[in-house]
Amino acid sequence: MPSGRSRTWLTAAVAAGASLVLAALLVGKWDELSAGITGAPALVVGAAVALQVLALVSRTEAWNVCVRASGGTVGRRCLYRASSMGFVGGLVNGQLSSAARIATLRRSAPDDTPRVPALVAAELPILAVEAMLAALTSFTLVGPLGLPWWLPLVFVGALVCLSAGLRRIAIAQGRWLAQGIAVTGSLTGRTRVVGFVLVAVFAQIARNWLLLHAVGVDASVFDAIAVLIAVVSLGQLPFGLSVGAAASVLILGPEGVAAAAAAGVLLTATGTVGGLAFAAWAALDVALTDRRVRALAHRLGTAVARLGTPAHTPWTALAALPAQIRRSVEHSCFDVLGHLQAAPALAPVTAQAPTGMPHPRVSRSRAPEWSPAPRERRGRYE
């Protein structure tokens, strides 16, 4: 058997090959493709992203019902974080989605979740409902793919027999299997699982229909269902991010390869953005609940709050200096200010005083005495 690294390289090579084949089919139609992608209204694209998030949340709620019925007591937030990691793993390969989801859940809450075999079995009720819905609507593939009309009946019969056999095995000897599919033993559990799965499926169908009409494809609801079945089926193969475009071209290629490929590209883009938004919420929730992150945020908030208090103003910092340093600073400031104020008074007198009048006194302590002029003194004695 090939090693894990060899399988990874093989998966990447197949995905790159599928993308190259699809690009070869679109040679000479890049203008139509880009026009279809960029011409989609922003409101429709935003609605498609919101429908993708709704589908992920609804499917996670169905998984929550199955896990709790199998004996798990894990919190909903922890389970949602594990589900988001499952989507990130599904971006690499569709088969890694369940493995990443289960591994993350077991690692984050090992004491509150069932063991791995029971968690694997807890996926089966959801997959059974999805497969049954796909079998019931597989008649939408008859026209686009040229399948025999009786093939959907075979699919439905095979799924009914498989579900009955799985139930008997669980009751007879499969203890871990019986624990995983314990949700099927109650009417309330079955109803809730079917309801959440229906919401997720209808959200995906609505997203397909909106994006097909946004690029100019006159598609019906049955066409949107056929595209969804093709996307899920091809997603089990290593097509990578080109699975949406490949499925759209496979189903709606006769109506326009470029328009169908543009719708597929938008399907992949909006699905990826919605899933990454779901994963970003989970990452933010992990960061906010981590003790170290919360302690760091508390320290930063305390430091910012202290900067605005009066205790950290410049005048308070000056008052906190030692008394000797404060006195030195005050004396220096007073000496400079006193020198600036006394400078005009200490300037030399250049103008002479009027005759017969004393000179103005510059200072009280050392005032110059007035003396008569020499001529006046000589004239008096003469």
Tens digits of residue pLDDT in 96-120: 788 889 999 998 888 889 888 889 8
Cα Rg of the chain, angstroms: 42
> How does residue 14 score in pLDDT terms, banded at 50, 70 and 90?
low
Q: How much of the chain, in percent, has pLDDT values that exceed 90?
A: 20
In whole angstroms, what is the distance from residue 202 CA to residue 194 CA? 12
Give the CA angle between residues 329, 330, 335 to the nearest 5°: 100
Which tops the pLDDT comparison, 340 or 162?
Answer: 162
Task: Say if residue 351's pLDDT is above 50.
Answer: no
Q: Any idea of the CA torsion for 165, 117, 283, 65, to the nearest 10 degrees? A: 50
State in Å, rounded, how far the first CA of the chain is from the last one.
143
> pLDDT by residue (tens digit) across 231-258?
888 877 766 666 777 788 888 877 677 8
Most confident of 117-131, 190-204, 264-278: 190-204
DSSP assigned state of 310: G
Number of H helices, E strands in the chain: 18, 0
pTM for the structure as a whole: 0.71
Task: Say if residue 163's pLDDT is above 50.
Answer: yes
Most confident of 206-210, 361-365, 375-379: 206-210
**Would you state the pLDDT for residue 346?**
45
Provide mean pLDDT across the span 27-47.
Answer: 77
> 168 near 153, Cβ under 8 Å?
no
Which tops the pLDDT comparison, 161 or 13?
Answer: 161
Q: Which residues of 236-265 are buried (b: 16+ CB within 10 A; e: fewer)?
A: ebbbbebbbbbbbbbbbeeebbbbbbbbbb
In whole angstroms, what is the distance from residue 359 CA to residue 367 CA? 9
**Would you state the pLDDT for residue 209?**
95
Task: Say if residue 44's pLDDT is above 90.
Answer: yes
**Would you state the pLDDT for residue 204?**
96
Mean pLDDT of the residues in the chain: 76
Provide mean pLDDT across the span 153-169.
Answer: 79
**Would you state the pLDDT for residue 372?**
52
Lowest average pLDDT, out of 91-105, 190-204, 271-285, 337-351, goes to: 337-351
Q: How much of the chain, in percent, has pLDDT values that exceed 70?
A: 63
**Would you state the pLDDT for residue 381?**
44
Q: Map out the domains of the chain as residue ranges.
A: 12-289
> pLDDT by residue (tens digit) across 149-160?
888 888 888 888
Which tops the pLDDT comparison, 146 or 324?
Answer: 146
In whole angstroms, what is the distance from residue 29 CA to residue 174 CA? 55
In whole angstroms, what is the distance from residue 69 CA to residue 123 CA? 12
> 153 near 135, Cβ under 8 Å?
no
In whole angstroms, what is the distance from residue 343 CA to residue 323 CA? 30
Task: Say if residue 312's pLDDT is above 70.
Answer: no
